[in-house]
Copies of this chain bind each other. A is one copy, B any other.
């Protein structure tokens, strides 16, 4: 029994001091229900919320969200896998439908981060690394990714210019995405000239903390056509973990959980990297997108820098990546990100991505990394 997506919704990402966390969740939920023709709210069996609780004053998030969107007394809970929380929610919904436990499941990824100060966010982020052995010594998120970047430069000759080109591409596509936090293009010079954060990571190599929410409505093969003429199907789902302490990783030039999750997803979907028409990958830092090209098999290991230099991840290249702007331009409301990626792939596979459309896109992929790579979820979708 196949599982598909019949409704999608996406709120504006950015500074959303206009909305509480439950109001943020409601926006894409409403849109997704309207997107799924003939779906009534009461048809929904279950709500899975992807979010990272520590950012919110309001705890027990599925409780307020379920009440606010009006799905009581249906089943609900939250999934958390750091920045991969949204994809953990989608995987949970997939399993709940596949198992026959539920027929129609709404997944909402939602996060509100902009009320916290930069210091609070930095402290919280650092604790997503191993507290006992690493973050206690002051590692921060940009610091972790700077370790990856330095090692990648050392081993493969990757350059700061190549990293900057990732930002240039993603802001270029972000300029066409009305949901993106940042809708302006940037030049390579601007990225390279932006403030140092942790060498070689500059401010413009980092994505931004954001408020935001996205929603997908999933159902089984029997019901899908009732709600959508062009359901998008899950063909392969990979989920893997890696050592949380970088000190225990075999190397610092790849995310081992991403390699493993991709392998699982390709195998289940029975496709090759070259079959992927369009991908949304986890570019929390520009080096992360370069590693993603390699870990997903879009190019050989060590050739990620060249891949962006040759514009292979632009529309028209071998594997268009983050043509919605990625985390880099959209902003990164952590729990919402995996769901946001999924809505973009659905749009692309339906041919509804407008100016950003990859022509003839038939197979899409999401790659959602949690934390510093302790989790990765890879999903392959097909129209």
Contacts and interface: CB of A to CB of B under 8 A. Distances in A.
Contacts of A94: 99, 101
Contacts of A218: none
Chain multiplicity (copies): 2
A228 interface: no
Given A77-B84, A77-B85, 14 more contacts: A58-B131, A59-B124, A59-B128, A60-B82, A60-B128, A63-B370, A64-B131, A66-B241, A73-B260, A76-B239, A77-B91, A77-B239, A79-B80, A80-B80
Contact of A375 (B52, B77, B128): B77
Nearest to A78: B80
Nearest to A84: B77
A55 B299 CA distance: 42
Interface string A220-248: 00000000000000000101111111001
Interface in A47-64: 47, 52-54, 57-60, 62-64
Interface string A240-266: 111111001000000011001000000
A126 to B, nearest CB: 9
A82 B58 contact: no
Nearest to A373: B63
Contacts of A62: 80-81, 241, 374-375
A375 B374 CA distance: 29
Nearest to A260: B73
Given A60-B371, A248-B67, A243 B101 contact: no
Contacts of A85: 77
24 contacts: A47-B241, A52-B53, A57-B131, A58-B127, A58-B132, A59-B82, A59-B128, A59-B131, A60-B370, A62-B81, A63-B371, A64-B130, A73-B241, A73-B260, A74-B240, A77-B84, A77-B370, A77-B375, A78-B80, A78-B88, A92-B92, A94-B101, A99-B99, A101-B237
A96 interface: yes
A266 B81 CA distance: 32
A277 to B, nearest CB: 25
Contacts of A84: 77
A237 B75 CA distance: 11
A95 interface: yes
A324 to B, nearest CB: 24
A271 to B, nearest CB: 19
